[in-house]
Homo-oligomer: A and B are copies of this chain.
């Protein structure tokens, strides 16, 4: 199956190479705590070269990435309350505000999983709503990470409904730091529950072009992966540094 043919409503009308259409759906991700500045430099260069939607990094790198990506179409994405989602709302909100102030365009927050398990749906929703409000006031978008590997199917559905009620722009399967990553079944479940009212991001364990295409076919709009460059090469990108697409190509 062609990756390109899997792209849905967001597919551009103009004809572009398959790898480039795929790149627009990818959050180029580097979240290990031990990554160094040199690795973050490389992440930004790759993102600009291939035209990925976003880099996805920890808060400590936000201002650095936003600065390096200033003259590119690549967004700066950052994780909040990551990867446990078990902080207090005031702390998540301040972390979000600080990241937005430092140049973030997209925030991927982790839901309060323990609160959901405890039946405290009000806390789960207000936690998400605080961040949705913070993001939208700044013109940014919010993705809510459900961490599906830790949830029953009923909890996944509840989490999707609470995310919708809270104003999330995306629901996202996984942090990549738990017992499992994105599954096709979870993406399909999330797509079914949220319909066209918000978007779906699959993350965790997407390692090659076949995984990538299958996730899109199951209903994902965006893919988070650390294997972005090898997926680009599988799809025929040349990988020559310096071939940065200009903003006008978007």
Question: What residues make up the interface of A, taking CB atoms closer than 8 Å to B?
Answer: 31, 33-38, 58-62, 82-88, 90-91, 94-95, 98-99, 102, 110, 112-115, 117-118, 120, 147, 150, 177-178
Residue of B with least CB distance to A88: B59
Known: A38-B118, A91-B98, A94-B94. A60 touches B86 (CB 8 A): yes
Docked Cα-Cα span, A94 to B86, in Å, equals: 15
Task: Select from chain B the residue with minimum beta-carbon distance to A84.
Answer: B33
Number of copies: 2
A84-B58 CB under 8 A given contacts A37-B118, A94-B94, A150-B34: yes
Chain B residues lying within 8 Å of A87, measured Cβ to Cβ, are 58-60, 95
Return 24 A-B CB contacts under 8 Å, by A number: A31-B84, A31-B86, A33-B86, A33-B110, A33-B150, A34-B147, A35-B117, A37-B118, A37-B120, A58-B86, A59-B86, A59-B88, A60-B86, A60-B87, A60-B115, A61-B114, A83-B84, A88-B102, A90-B94, A91-B91, A91-B99, A94-B94, A95-B95, A177-B177
| Chain B residues positioned under 8 Å from A82 (CB to CB) | 84
**Which B residues are in CB contact (< 8 Å) with A95?**
87-88, 91, 94-95
The answer on a CB contact under 8 Å between A118 and B36 is: yes
